[in-house]
Amino acid sequence: MIIKEEILLANGATFEEYSNNDTIFSESDKPQYYFQIIYGTVELNNYHENGSEFTHNILRDGQSFGESLLFTDQLYPMNAVVKGPSMILKLPKESFLKLVQQNPEISISIVECLAERLFYKYTMLFNLSSSNPMLKIENILNYLKSFNSDKKDPYTFEVPLTRQQLANLTGLRIETVIRTVKKMEKSNILRLKGRTIYY
């Protein structure tokens, strides 16, 4: 949790419930809120002209999104779409900026969060430049597993992504992801139990 719920609520945040595939904001909308996920999943994405999806990030319980654009006058360059039932705390932009200005510890938390997002972006940009599908998938799995210090041993991390989400994050076709994941299992890089990947 970036900012404690009680602090957000005391500063004017409100809860909002969403259903699967609801859009929280769309590309070219004006940023007006800080968002923090109480429970659920949110994908930040864009759609190509042919309707295919490119996923920038997948966020879950306790994570925030949209905060970086509250410090600029830019419009959203992506969409935020809910995947499954979700509840999100929304704090208006003016209240968020005031909260950050008046609370150095919250400012530091926001800066740390933004730094982590930059690290993720650099990792993903390099990943997208690779032509090796196995390397692309392995880099994403390494990044996700790095947040689970208690699951460093092989095959202890349950990957919280579908094959389609891996395809959207890596720019690969779903068929390529399916074939590559099977090759990775044969090479003992990961294990499969039903549809779940363990890394």
Contact 180, 141 (CB under 8 A): no
3-state secondary structure of 78: coil
Global confidence as pTM: 0.82
- Give per-residue pLDDT as tens, 120-145: 888 888 887 889 999 999 999 998 89
Domains of the chain: 5-104 (2.60.120.10), 130-198 (1.10.10.10)
User: What is the C-alpha separation between 121 and 157, in angstroms, rounded?
Assistant: 22
Bridge partner residues of 88 (DSSP): 16, 37
How many percent of the chain have pLDDT more than 90? 81
What per-residue confidence (pLDDT) applies to 126? Answer: 84
The number of CA neighbours under 13 Å toward the Cβ of 40 is 26
What per-residue confidence (pLDDT) applies to 146? Answer: 87
For the residues 183-187, what does the mean pLDDT come to?
Answer: 96
- Give per-residue pLDDT as tens, 143-159: 889 887 788 899 999 99
- Give per-residue pLDDT as tens, 45-84: 999 888 888 899 999 999 999 999 999 999 999 999 999 9
What mean pLDDT is reported for the chain?
93
User: What is the C-alpha separation between 20 and 11, in angstroms, rounded?
Assistant: 28
User: What is the C-alpha separation between 19 and 41, in angstroms, rounded?
Assistant: 10
